[in-house]
């Protein structure tokens, strides 16, 4: 735990703000989003809870900022992954499958991003002010646009449908992450009754199939 002196300059305030974010990242390496509490975050960063709230109005505001940061980093790293994984000379059906596979592969070591995606609508967008919500949504729109541009680069046939595909992809990542991490009781039920095994999802394999299907379906639909 770090103990801070009172922040008096803008530079010191930014250092304090970044320390809060870095501490939250470290906590998410240890626990799921739902287990991150403002009390524990305050304790670990070495600030009173009231002081943390000077920088972020709630736990959810901290996590929304982390989601935006992680989303931007993912999008920034995707071009190289897609360039290596999508054959520009292949037919559109093949490129669609390759696009989906490359996106899924890019998430292999991004546990925090997937966990935050899964909590976005049900948890993170609650307990925040309208100003914070609007600021996050504007950032999310920019992130979706960046993902859509990448989709169009490798699948120019998408045209204006790329934005819809990008929005659906991010929602699907979060939903699949949730379903691929069942509770201990569900795991016990699967083990006890092999007929239920069809409901047990592997995150990467299931997401790859769903994104490939979503991409193919979007390509098949008429342009708006």
- CATH at 116: 1.10.357.10
Residue 100 near residue 212, CB atoms below 8 Å: yes
Residue 181 domain boundaries = 58-220
pLDDT score at 208: 97
Instruction: Read off the pLDDT band of 5 (50, 70, 90).
Output: low
Instruction: Read off the pLDDT band of 223 (50, 70, 90).
Output: confident
**DSSP-assigned letter for residue 57:** S
Within this chain, do residues 71 and 90 fall inside the same structural domain, yes or no? yes
**DSSP-assigned letter for residue 121:** I
Within this chain, do residues 106 and 133 fall inside the same structural domain, yes or no? yes
Distances in whole angstroms, Cα of residue 77 to Cα of each of 81, 88, 141, 209: 7, 19, 18, 22
Dist. CA 123–CA 107, nearest whole Å: 21
Residue 126 near residue 60, CB atoms below 8 Å: yes
Model's pTM, two decimal places? 0.90
pLDDT score at 69: 97
Helix 59-85 vs helix 111-119: angle between axes, to the nearest 10 degrees?
A: 120
127 conformational bin, left if phi > 0, alpha if psi -120 to 50, beta if neither: left
Within this chain, do residues 140 and 75 fall inside the same structural domain, yes or no? yes
Mean pLDDT of 203-218: 97
Secondary structure of residue 155 in the 3-state scheme: coil
With a cut of 70, say whether residue 13 has pLDDT above it: yes
**CATH value at residue 16:** 1.10.10.60
Within this chain, do residues 163 and 185 fall inside the same structural domain, yes or no? yes
Pick the closest to residue 104 from 214, 207, 210, 175 (CA basis): 207
Q: In the structure encoding, which two tokens stand for residue 151, read together?
A: 């989709």
Instruction: Read off the pLDDT band of 198 (50, 70, 90).
Output: confident
Instruction: Read off the pLDDT band of 8 (50, 70, 90).
Output: low
Within this chain, do residues 88 and 169 fall inside the same structural domain, yes or no? yes
Mean pLDDT of 51-57: 95
Least confident among 2-6, 97-101, 171-175, 209-213: 2-6
pLDDT score at 90: 98
Residue 41 near residue 25, CB atoms below 8 Å: no
Q: At 154, phi and psi to the nearest 5?
A: -100, -20
Within this chain, do residues 47 and 82 fall inside the same structural domain, yes or no? no
Mean pLDDT of 59-83: 97
Residue 57 near residue 17, CB atoms below 8 Å: no
With a cut of 80, say whether residue 218 has pLDDT above it: yes
Within this chain, do residues 121 and 185 fall inside the same structural domain, yes or no? yes
Within this chain, do residues 24 and 86 fall inside the same structural domain, yes or no? no
What is the distance between the terminal CA atoms of the chain, rounded to a whole angstrom? Answer: 54
With a cut of 70, say whether residue 61 has pLDDT above it: yes
Where do we find the tokens 């925040």? 128
pLDDT score at 6: 60
Within this chain, do residues 51 and 139 fall inside the same structural domain, yes or no? no
Within this chain, do residues 84 and 129 fall inside the same structural domain, yes or no? yes
Dist. CA 200–CA 20, nearest whole Å: 36
pLDDT in tens, 127-184: 999 999 999 999 999 999 999 999 999 999 999 999 999 999 999 999 999 999 999 9
pLDDT score at 224: 73
Looking at the chain, the number of H-run helices and the number of E-run strands are: 10, 0
Distances in whole angstroms, Cα of residue 40 to Cα of each of 6, 54, 98, 112: 20, 16, 42, 18
Within this chain, do residues 121 and 34 fall inside the same structural domain, yes or no? no
Boundary (domain end) residue, out of 27, 56, 85: 56
Count of domains observed in the chain: 2
pLDDT score at 18: 95
**DSSP-assigned letter for residue 31:** S
Within this chain, do residues 35 and 75 fall inside the same structural domain, yes or no? no
pLDDT score at 2: 52
């Amino acid at each position: 735990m770090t103990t801070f002196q009172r922040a008096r300059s803008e530079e010191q305030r930014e250092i304090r703000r970044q320390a809060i974010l870095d501490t939250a990242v470290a906590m998410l390496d240890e626990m799921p989003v739902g287990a991150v509490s403002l009390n524990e975050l305050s304790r670990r960063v070495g600030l009173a809870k009231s002081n943390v709230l000077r920088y972020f109005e709630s736990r959810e505001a901290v996590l929304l900022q982390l989601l935006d940061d992680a989303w931007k980093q993912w999008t920034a790293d995707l071009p190289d992954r897609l360039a290596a994984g999508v054959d520009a000379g292949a037919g559109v059906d093949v490129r669609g499958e390759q696009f989906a596979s490359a996106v899924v592969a890019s998430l292999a070591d991004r546990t925090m991003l997937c966990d935050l995606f899964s909590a976005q609508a049900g948890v993170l967008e609650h307990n925040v002010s309208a100003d914070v919500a609007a600021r996050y949504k504007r950032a999310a729109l920019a992130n979706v646009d960046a993902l859509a541009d990448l989709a169009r680069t490798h699948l120019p046939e998408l045209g204006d449908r790329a934005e819809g595909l990008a929005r659906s992809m991010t929602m699907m990542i979060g939903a699949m992450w949730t379903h691929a991490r069942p509770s201990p009781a569900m795991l016990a039920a699967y083990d006890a009754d092999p007929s239920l095994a069809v409901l047990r999802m592997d995150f990467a394999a299931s997401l790859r199939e769903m994104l490939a299907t979503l991409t193919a379906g979007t390509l098949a639909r008429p342009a708006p």
